[in-house]
Amino acid sequence: MSQRYRFSYADIHHTLGLAAQEVIESGIEFDYILAIGGGGYIPARILRTYLNRPILAVALARYQDNGPALEIPLKLQWTEGFAQAIQGKRLLVVDEVDDQRTTLAWTLAELHKEHPQSMSVLVLHDKDKPKNAQYPKYVDRVFVGQRIDDVWVEYPWDALDIYEHEHTATGLVHVDDPYGSH
Amino acid sequence: MSQRYRFSYADIHHTLGLAAQEVIESGIEFDYILAIGGGGYIPARILRTYLNRPILAVALARYQDNGPALEIPLKLQWTEGFAQAIQGKRLLVVDEVDDQRTTLAWTLAELHKEHPQSMSVLVLHDKDKPKNAQYPKYVDRVFVGQRIDDVWVEYPWDALDIYEHEHTATGLVHVDDPYGSH
């Protein structure tokens, strides 16, 4: 038996609504929500409901053609479509989870080269574990939806059987896992 | 009293899973899922679970600065970041709803200029109503998650109180609506 998180859509949406409230209370007026895809698309779209800012997206791939994880992620889609628009603007960069922070820190450094006025980060989940990188100094604020233990997370959008997922999504769940804890 | 649709996340996810099955059965091997943001981000990410193709995104704005609806949508983000990548490739273009089809047809025409090998469309919902445009001939296939009546749709991602939304999301609902039917 091992532990996992299994979050329902409603719980995730609710968590993001609370995080959005913190963003509003911070007083920072963001110009754009910047989603880091694939994980950031759904959190970004939910946040837009509360923050009412336009969404821009970049997309990274950490794997290619079934190979091993890439050291430096592949820029599937980058800022070419909106580089001018974000110069001098305040960005709220959104991702699904802060795991080891390697990719997130690298992405922030790459975005910094585009000369936004400021960047803050909002992650749906922050895993309580050692991080490979600190947030760079030019990151104004870090908003966290929920701090969670370092166990595998089953997100609803990855479910093949969504009704089964939603009926059993109670946060921390115990599962039979032949591979042990992830 | 008027009628609306109020869909839960699970129902939408399930609908997209069935649509993905149709995509697979079509035998068309898509290279990319192309989300039309904002509405396409969440459907595209859910579809990726079933279709396992990378997501690219464009984003359109139909309103600017609280003004009236724009005749031609604003390209908040376009294909500059991946124009080369999609040349000669097969795209599955994803959006939330086929309403009057004006914006969707315009977007397809604009994407066609980038010379993909082929384009198909997948919409989560298709409203049963007169359309302002036909799908262009260069669109291979149109996949529809669900055909629905021409009434207002409350999507879960737009909910301010997601628990209330999910508890009352039974598809077609009757609501007191001081503005009448939308």
The structural domains of chain B, with segments of one domain joined by +, span: 2-62+73-175
- Taking only the tens place, the pLDDT of each residue in B71-121 is 889 999 999 989 999 999 999 999 999 999 999 999 999 999 999 999 999
- Which chain B residues are Cβ-neighbours of A42 within 8 angstroms? 41-42, 45, 157
Higher pLDDT, B70 or A118: A118
Beta carbons of A10 and B163 less than 8 Å apart: yes
Pick the CATH number of B2-62+73-175 from 3.40.50.920, 3.40.50.2020, 3.40.190.10, 1.10.1040.10: 3.40.50.2020
Q: What is the pLDDT of residues A41-54, one digit of tens each?
A: 999 999 999 999 99
CA A41/CA B49 separation, integer angstroms: 13
**Chain B: nearest CA to A157, how far in angstroms?**
5
* Lowest-pLDDT choice from A77-81, A167-171, B4-8, B68-72: B68-72
User: Looking at the partner chain, which of B8, B42, B57 has a beta carbon nearest the beta carbon of A42?
Assistant: B42
What are the φ and ψ backbone dihedral angles of B27, each rounded to 5 degrees?
A: 80, -5
How many residues would you count in chain A? Answer: 182
Is some CB atom of chain A closer than 8 A to the CB atom of B154? no
Cis peptide before A40 (omega within 30 of 0): no
The residue to which tokens 């129902």 are assigned: B11
φ/ψ of B90, rounded to 5, equals -100, 120
Strand B139-148 and strand B118-127: the pairing is: parallel
User: What is the spatial distance between Cα B154 and Cα B73, in angstroms, rounded to a whole number?
Assistant: 22
Chain A residues within 8 A of B81 when measuring between CB atoms: 58, 77-81
Question: Which chain B residues have a beta carbon less than 8 Å from that of A44?
Answer: 41
Q: Is there a catalytic annotation at residue A161? A: no
Average pLDDT for B8-15:
98
pLDDT (tens digit per residue) in A19-69: 999 999 999 999 999 999 999 999 999 999 999 999 999 999 887 777 888
Residues of chain B in contact with residue A166, where contact means CB-CB under 8 angstroms, are 9-10
Q: Which residues of B are catalytic?
A: 99
Mean pLDDT of chain A: 94
Are A57 and B80 a contacting pair at CB < 8 A?
Answer: no
- Is the Cα dihedral B164, A27, A117, A132 positive or negative? negative
Does A34 contact B at CB distance below 8 Å? Answer: no
**AA identity, residue A64:** Q
- Closest chain B C-alpha to A81 CA, distance in angstroms: 5
Determine contact, residues A142/A120, Cβ cutoff 8 Å. yes
